[in-house]
Amino acid sequence: MKRIMLTVAYDGTNYCGWQMEPTGLSVEEVLNKALSKRLNEDIRVKGVSRTDSGVHALANLCIFDTETPIPPEKICFAVNEVLPEDIVVRKSEEVPPDFHPRKCDSLKTYEYTLYHDSLPNPLVRHYTTYYYRRLDVQKMREGAAYLIGEHDFSSFCSAGSQAETKVRRITALEIEEEGTRICFRITGTGFLYNMVRIIVGTLLRTGTGFWPPEKVKEILEAKDRQAAGPKAPAEGLCLVEIRLFPEGFPSSL
């Protein structure tokens, strides 16, 4: 018996999210079926990050145990043969039998990308959010600065969260502008339900001038979802990296 970890990329457009739901098709379900078929065993993966409906990933992680004789690093090629083209296993590797990534300290990085122009671009519509209002990127950066560090993010969490504590640590939040592309890159020790999308929806209000950047501090302190901006649409969001620290976070972090 070997424990295998997969790095999975997917276009979330046609899925109800990572996790199995009574309604809609999930990435997890399609992956379980493909692995079970290809490895000829009943496989049920355990995922690390539950992305929402319509959200993309370049590198989500999951584990499962298997008796397959296929070498661990070749499993990705085997399963990709039976996966639909919107899900690709980018890497497969053996991990210790007691390894569970959800029990490791981790840093997750999400990118939220806007297509910012007076008219939409059909070639990027599935992977960016179209936004036409004038934005002051510097003001959004000023607002973002209040979110960096350890805070109670209750104001940035949708109802329905099962999290025991709403305290999370954001280690980096950068906003890059390049032509018509504005990208919010957020790294943290964990994210609450819809947290990245509510952060982006809130920062957009500082970018348009609807709120001054200092309002973000007030919103944090309110610990009330009603205080923050609306959640930004799913299509602009992508989980780009998960870094695991099996020995715990280094003290430098």
Say if residues 114 and 57 touch (Cβ distance below 8 Å): no
Using CA atoms, how far apart are residues 119 and 117, in angstroms rounded to an integer? 5
* Residue 9 touching its own copies (CB under 8 A): yes
54: left (phi over 0), alpha (psi -120 to 50) or beta: left
Using CA atoms, how far apart are residues 214 and 221, in angstroms rounded to an integer? 11
Q: Which of 24, 71, 120, 212 binds its own copies (CB under 8 A)?
A: 120
Site residues for its own copies, window 184-243 (CB under 8 A)? 238
Q: Which of 4, 5, 6, 10 binds its own copies (CB under 8 A)?
A: 10
Tally Cβ neighbours within 10 Å of residue 28: 22
Catalytic position from the list 11, 52, 65, 152: 52
Q: Which of 25, 27, 105 is nearest to 60 (CA)?
A: 27
Q: Which of 1, 9, 5 is nearest to 101 (CA)?
A: 5
Using CA atoms, how far apart are residues 202 and 184, in angstroms rounded to an integer? 12
| Closer to its own copies by Cβ: residue 126 or 225 | 126
Q: Which of 208, 194, 186 is nearest to 140 (CA)?
A: 208
Applying CB under 8 A, what is the total number of residues that bind its own copies?
A: 22
> Closest distance between its own copies and the C-beta of residue 86, in Å?
5
Site residues for its own copies, window 123-162 (CB under 8 A)? 123, 125, 127
Using CA atoms, how far apart are residues 185 and 201, in angstroms rounded to an integer? 14
Told to judge if 117 belongs to the known catalytic residues of this protein, a careful annotator would answer no
| Closer to its own copies by Cβ: residue 158 or 180 | 180
Render 193-221 in DSSP notation, one character per residue.
Answer: TTHHHHHHHHHHHHHHTSS-TTHHHHHHH
CA dihedral for 220, 223, 227, 232, sign (positive or negative): positive
> Closest distance between its own copies and the C-beta of residue 26, in Å?
15
> Closest distance between its own copies and the C-beta of residue 16, in Å?
17
* Residue 28 touching its own copies (CB under 8 A): no
| Closer to its own copies by Cβ: residue 45 or 228 | 45
> Closest distance between its own copies and the C-beta of residue 5, in Å?
16
> Closest distance between its own copies and the C-beta of residue 12, in Å?
9
Q: Which of 122, 160, 248, 250 binds its own copies (CB under 8 A)?
A: 122
* Residue 58 touching its own copies (CB under 8 A): yes
Site residues for its own copies, window 79-98 (CB under 8 A)? 80, 85-90
Residues acting as catalytic residues: 52
Binding residues for its own copies (CB under 8 A): 9-11, 56, 58, 76-77, 80, 85-90, 119-123, 125, 127, 238
